[in-house]
Amino acid sequence: MDLPRIALTMGDVAGIGPEIVARACDDPVVRALCRPLVVGDPQILQRALQLVGSTSKVRSIAAIAAAGDDATGISCWNPVSPKIAAEVASVAPGSLDPRAGRAAYEWLVAAAQAARGGSIDALVTAPLNKAALHLAGLNYPGHTEILAAQCGVSRYAMMLFVPPSGGVRSPQGLGVAHVTLHTSVADVPRLVTTEGVCEKISLVYDFLRRIGVLSPRIGVCALNPHAGEDGLFGDEERRIIRPAVERFIEQGWAVEGPVPADALLRRAIGGEFDGVVAMYHDQGHIPIKLVARDTAVNVTLGLPIVRTSPSHGTAFDIAWKGTASPQGMIEAIRMASILARE
């Protein structure tokens, strides 16, 4: 069977995206998993390869169909206007620059459309910077929302997935999805709804079934400390979250909650659950990144295409210093290659 063609978007070029893409493309593990295609600027990719000491050459292509599979070369597709290409080439490392935000967006959109059209099998995205997006006039909170808009879906979720042996004891890994995502903590209580909780439970369940978990065990986090302490610290658990959980219990699903997040995530990491639904970004991210910083993979649920990414950001503080680890990118490619074959 042919290896899947996986597009690697370069992300914000002021960050570590070009470096981790370059290192990943040169890694024999990646070459054994897929046929990588970089979506970004070939000059920047060549500079990144030189930075990491690679002798690989960049093959600039005008169309995905021209991508080669020569192990000594890396195909790079730059589907942006000459103006954007010229501007992004001069972005300074570690800088917040609208030109980098614009280019990262254009590469992502082109790759998503290529995936929708079937010319690539999966999409793995290097980090973009949300402030740079906004400076470029692109008012999206991040990758997840851009991809949802491009794919025309309203039912989606961001999930951090830790593969088996990646720091968790669940036999087939642990996935943590979020009811709310890129929003202020102050807005979370009004954004958590019964339907939203139901949607995320269903998306996590479908993903876990897809990767071979026959009877997914899903834990649902409380919003408030001590699950509201019988209404003393809030009533969202009784009023919003519990009714959602009960819907699935009535269907015979193994869903438990709402459980105080500190207790639930400890149990999940210990192997009692296959999936978790957290109420907000940091509730799910902090424990997972503590136990699986380099192995956790961001998977977008609900899309008609496969998209994964490393779980870290642009890391402007170490950008273009030759010290960025590609491990998160490699794990994201590994997961994308598995999902692309299903």
What is 174-202 written as a DSSP string? EEEEESS-SS-GGGHHHH--HHHHHHHHH
Look at the pTM and tell me if it is higher than 0.85: yes
- In eight-state DSSP terms, residue 308 is E
Tell me what pLDDT residue 100 has.
98
Q: Is 158 helix (H, G, I), strand (E, B) or coil?
A: strand
- Tokens 């907000």 correspond to 280
Q: Is the peptide bond before 258 cis (omega within 30 degrees of 0)?
A: yes
Residue 48 to residue 134: CA distance in whole angstroms: 26
- Tokens 């960050």 correspond to 15
Cα 303 off chain centre by: 12
Tell me what pLDDT residue 230 has.
87
Tell me what pLDDT residue 1 has.
55
Tell me what pLDDT residue 228 has.
82
Strands 275-278 and 254-259: unpaired
Tell me what pLDDT residue 71 has.
64
Domains, the chain, in order of start with CATH, read 5-153+303-340 (3.40.718.10), 157-289 (3.40.718.10)
Angle at the Cα of 244 from the Cα atoms of 172 and 217, rounded to 5 degrees: 15
Tell me what pLDDT residue 319 has.
98
pLDDT tens for the chain, 342 residues long, are 589 999 999 999 999 999 999 999 999 999 999 999 999 999 999 999 999 999 999 999 999 988 877 666 899 999 999 999 999 999 999 999 999 999 999 999 999 999 999 999 999 999 999 999 999 999 999 999 999 999 999 999 999 999 987 789 999 999 999 999 989 999 999 999 999 999 999 999 999 999 999 999 999 999 999 998 888 899 999 999 999 999 999 999 999 999 999 999 999 999 999 999 999 999 999 999 999 877 899 999 999 999 999 999 999 999 999 999 999 999 999 999 999 987
Q: What counts of helices (H) and strands (E) characterise the chain?
A: 14, 12
Consecutive H or E run containing 147 = helix 143-151
Contact 147, 300 (CB under 8 A): yes
Strands 73-77 and 254-259: unpaired
